[in-house]
Amino acid sequence: MNSALKQAKAALYALTVPVYLAEFLDTDSDGFLVLPDDKSFIVLHGITAVPTFEWANYSYDGNRIQVNAYSRVEGTPSALLTAAKPLLTAARFRPGITTDLGRDGPYTAMSQDWEVNT
């Protein structure tokens, strides 16, 4: 687990929903994460490569994460990301792109990229 994931998990401890690290969740036969059965939850992913657009090279670092919020209740993923923002900002993270992930089975989901301020 990279240091950014450790920092983010610690910062999000104050939320009232479980926070999971993607690398510790099971995957199905297609390689997709098997989501927990919780009503609402957050899954943290490490972003391991950033394209530099120079000779198709990638820079690897431990400073970028993706926060995915899932819920069976419509609108809750957006509220979870909103609640996470001041916690991650206080932990010296800088927000990036937010994406509506739509519906996955019974869940609606949103994600946001974050980078540690160095």
pLDDT for 64: 85
Predicted TM-score (pTM) of this structure:
0.84
Which CATH number covers residue 22? Answer: 3.30.2000.10
Domain count, the chain: 1
Find the range with the poorest average confidence among 10-14, 56-60, 62-66, 76-80.
Answer: 56-60
Residue 92 is part of which domain span? 3-116
The two tokens of residue 78 are: 């957006």
3 state DSSP class of 6: helix
pLDDT for 118: 66
Higher pLDDT, 88 or 53: 88
pLDDT for 42: 93
pLDDT for 84: 95
As a whole number, mean pLDDT of residues 3-7 equals: 87
pLDDT digits (tens, 9 = 90+) for 33-44: 888 999 999 999
Give burial (CB, 10 Å; 0-12/13-18/19+) of 44.
Answer: buried
